[in-house]
Structure 1
Amino acid sequence: MMNDYRRTKTTVSLINYHFVFCPRYRRKIFLNTKLEERFKDLVQEICGELDVSNVAMECDKDHVHLFLNTPPTLSPADTMAKIKGVTSKRLREEFSHLQHLPSLWTRSYFVSTAGSVSSETIKHYVENQKTRG
């Protein structure tokens, strides 16, 4: 799915994002394997609701990597708000040792675009458009 174009009546798109985010105070919450499994299930559920394809997901003890393919109507900020908001609420409800926390995640995150064509290739293509027939 990583290099499959999304097609609608009006758009063709390939938008892949790499997200990284952490629990507040870099708590090592993913040492608990049940919590990690539940987090991954919740992310899959949210991705289904948002029409987002989860290309890859990995949890280290104190941070998460997500590689997602999104529709063009969904911004990275909206994607993160939904994932972090829902997972924070549900995990704090379901795991008693997290209930006292006002929020599970930091407000910050890292996001980078990722695709099958390098920036240099696109730059070269754009610069050479005037020279074409």
Structure 2
Amino acid sequence: MHVHLVFVTKCPRGVFNDEMLTRCEEIMRKVCEDFEAELKEFNGERDHVHLLINYPPKAAVSKLVNSLKSVSARPDTAGGTSRPKAGGEFTARINHAIMHGHLQLPSYFSASCGGAPLSIIRTYVEQQQRPL
């Protein structure tokens, strides 16, 4: 089964740069592995990220999303988790007054990818205008 996920930052101007997106992808790949899922495609722009994930039927998308967001959304590394948090590595880029302690909005976009050819979705994700 495949799902296309989009997570948006709270800051409308965005905070992501290429280094942050690269680190976020590394961390999210590890989370997917923990769910026996595969991150097929990852990309983003200054204010959002796209993920195309192949996941087993036994994995609940909501639990996968919660794990993905928890390791990438908080700009601090507190919380007792052994997983690295992407936001904690880039606190200099994050304005806590605007973010209120969180990098991403609590909501997200999720779409099942059963109807569209995966090549079309992969191309769409690849064509995001990744910041330098």
Asked whether the two chains share a fold, i.e. TM above 0.5, the reply is yes
How much does 1:105 deviate?
0.9
Superposed counterparts of 1:2-21, under 5 Å: 15-21=1-7
Q: What's the TM-score, normalizing by structure 1?
A: 0.68
How much does 1:44 deviate?
1.1
1:93 aligns with 2:85: no
Of structures 1 and 2, the larger Rg is shown by: 1
**What is the RMSD computed on CA atoms of the aligned residues?**
2.1
Q: SS state of the match for residue 26, structure 1?
A: coil
CA offset digits 1:33-79 (Å, max 9, x no partner): 21111111111111111111111111112111111111112222111
Count of matched residue positions in the alignment of Structure 1 and Structure 2 = 103
For 1:21 and 1:83, the matched residues in 2 are separated by 10
**Segments of 4+ in structure 1 off by > 6 A?**
none
Greater RCO (Cα-Cα under 8 Å, separation 6 or more): 2
Report the structure, 1 or 2, having the larger strand content: 1
The residue that corresponds to 1:114 in the other structure is 113
- Structure 2 runs not aligned, ≥5 long: 75-84, 118-132
Q: SS state of the match for residue 11, structure 2?
A: helix
For 2:12 and 2:31, the matched residues in 1 are separated by 23
- Structure 1 runs not aligned, ≥5 long: 1-14, 119-133
